[in-house]
Amino acid sequence: MDFRFGPADTAFRQEARTWLTTHLPTQPPHWERELGAGGWIGLGWPDQTYGNRTATLTQQVVWAEEYARAAAPPRTGHIGENLLAPTLLTHGTPAQKARFLPPIARGEERWCQGYSEPGAGSDLAGIRTAARREGDTYRVTGQKIWTSLAHEADWCFVLARTEPGSRRHHGLSFLLVPMDQPGRIEVRPIRQLTGTSEFNEVFFDGAMARAEHLVGGEGNGWAIAMSLLALERGVSTLAQQIGFTAELEQVVARALADPAPLDPALRARIATQWAELKVMRWNALRTLGSAHDPGAPSVAKLLWGGWHRRLGELAMAVRGASATVTSADWDASNPYELDAFQHLFLFSRADTIYGGSDEIQRTIIAERVLGLPREVRVP
């Protein structure tokens, strides 16, 4: 793809930069509504029907880059904006679009993704969560795990088995489940190595937990799930790389601050990280907007997941022995206070697992791109 920024993109960049500079004093939990009021949610949607402004693909990249450069607050509405909304625009009914897209565009309703389950690892087809239809309502029974931001979400889109006795990718449906169901849905935060809890376990009580919205028709959940997963990698990858650049610059600055000569092996690792980051950007620009490359999302995930994990390891190596202890200002009330490098090292251990593990990505490339025989799976 011939990806170039033009005069209109330059003007859009200045508008985005000015708006961010003016509004950035706003902090969570009001930040999403502030973005919505400015029309900055839903830039990639095809029209402005739902209160959003629209932008070209290059302008979406500009916004993502400016957002990252401004160090704006982490998004809590990105799952609804970038995953659910495009799915509804493609597969949803007019009534579903009218109900759910405006609140997403206003930053009023937050979503989480109910895919992964205990015992299934990255095997999305190993769904055991079941949904039984009762008229226009489904009763949902089961458990999801590693559900990002479920403790803050208003809704969850859930992949569930609606055909009893079905196996693998057959008999699955895509349901929209309200999270505010006390006694019916339980959310348990998962404490991570970093001491934080962005991920959660979610339990659905089949006697009471309800879902009133089915997207794309019963039994079509697998096709919808696959189209949604392809959306997880796109413009946001370029914004992510802006953040990666800032982290790498911090590691380099720390290495240069050491009065001792830098170890040649460490110098080589730093140079390699820099070169690989450039390659990731060029690859992201090359594949941006391509809808016909089944391997592009998997290649991108393999590249950035491994790169970020190695950056965490490099950060610890640059720090040396001091990286193994916490802050000197130790506080008994908060004994697990990590600095930026320690947090980077620990959190990035998960980068090659969540969002589809490296093994899953390599299987996709092997089967869908290289045409190798399908992996033998034990029934």
Task: Give CA–CA dist 130/189, Å, rounded.
Answer: 22
Q: Is 218 exposed, middle or buried (0-12, 13-18, 19+ CB in 10 A)?
A: middle
Distance CA(242)–CA(73), nearest Å, equals 14
Mutual orientation of helices 235-257 and 264-287 as an angle, nearest 10°?
Answer: 170
C-beta contacts of 285-292 below 8 A and 24+ residues apart: 285/1, 285/3, 285/238, 286/1, 286/3, 287/1, 288/1, 288/3, 288/57, 288/61, 288/234, 288/235, 288/238, 289/1, 289/3, 289/57, 290/1
DSSP 2: -
Q: Which of 149, 148, 169 lies closest to 159 in space, CA to CA? A: 169
Residue 371's identity, in one-letter code, is G
Residues 33, 54: Cα–Cα separation, whole Å: 17
Catalytic residue among 152, 232, 276, 313: 232
Amino acid at 87: T
Helix extents (H) in the chain = 7-23, 31-37, 57-69, 78-79, 85-91, 94-105, 221-229, 235-257, 264-287, 296-319, 340-347, 358-364
Verify whether residue 367 is a known catalytic residue.
Answer: no
Which residue type is seen at 370?
L
The label of the residue with tokens 């093994």 reads 359
Residue 39 to residue 213: CA distance in whole angstroms? 27
Nearest to 347 by CA among 357, 334, 338: 338
| CA terminus-to-terminus distance, the chain | 42
Pair of tokens at residue 216: 């794309």
Amino acid at 192: Q
Tokens for 253? 């600055």
Active site residues: 232
